[in-house]
Amino acid sequence: MALLCQIQQRYSVRSYQKRPVEKEKLATVLEAGRLAPSASNTQDWRFVVVQDAAVRKQLVPAANNQAFVGEAPVIIVCCGINPAYTMRCGQPAYAIDLAIAIDHMTLQAVEEGLGTCWIGSFDEDQVRVILGIPADTRVVELLALGYPNDTPKPKNRLPLKQIVCYDRWTFT
């Protein structure tokens, strides 16, 4: 499948089949994240793969009671282990590096016939306690993964001419 086709097919899945994700498919999705680039090749990310149903249920209240967090067969908790590292441009590297790795995983998931949902609505401290994540590690995103039990809705995206300019800032 062409990459642009995967991008077009990816959507935020909030309803999952009870069907488990095969180990091989999960490994391939995680490998896509591992292969992502990072600032100075630091690879300062760590991923906690939560498959245990009881633990996933514990994450539901930490994720603002989003029920699908407990229903998805896999939750990948995406963490940054070096939050102090800042790139020369002034941006914290861990957040950007994790966004790249997560995006790689979401696109590989589409290739595997799986769906994902980025989850940024959660209490970081609660997730840390539930999973035993150290206090000096940032929990950046939760990523639900599984077989979709719904169908995508049309995406509403701005046209390129509204978001792109060339050579100079020409937006009004």
115, HSE (Cβ side, Cα atoms, 13 Å): 21
CB 4 within 8 A of CB 53: no
Residues 6+ apart with CB under 8 A from 9: 110, 152
Distance CA 144, CA 116 (A): 5
pLDDT digits (tens, 9 = 90+) for 60-74: 999 999 999 999 999
Domain boundaries, given as residue ranges, for the chain? 3-163
Average pLDDT over every residue of 122-132: 98
Confidence bin at 157 (pLDDT 50/70/90): very high
Q: Which CATH code fits 3-163?
A: 3.40.109.10
For residue 154, the model assigns a pLDDT of: 86
For residue 156, the model assigns a pLDDT of: 93
pLDDT digits (tens, 9 = 90+) for 12-22: 999 999 999 99
Residue carrying structure tokens 């590690």? 137
**Residue 46 DSSP SS3:** strand
Q: Is the pLDDT confidence value at 46 over 90?
A: yes
Q: Is the pLDDT confidence value at 172 over 90?
A: no
Q: Is the pLDDT confidence value at 1 over 80?
A: no
Reading the block at residue 7, the tokens are 């991008």
| CA-wise closest residue to 144 among 43, 63, 85, 88 | 63
| CA-wise closest residue to 142 among 129, 157, 127, 132 | 127
Reading the block at residue 75, the tokens are 């939750």
Q: Is the pLDDT confidence value at 143 over 80?
A: yes
Confidence bin at 169 (pLDDT 50/70/90): very high
Distance CA 53, CA 18 (A): 11
Reading the block at residue 126, the tokens are 């609660």
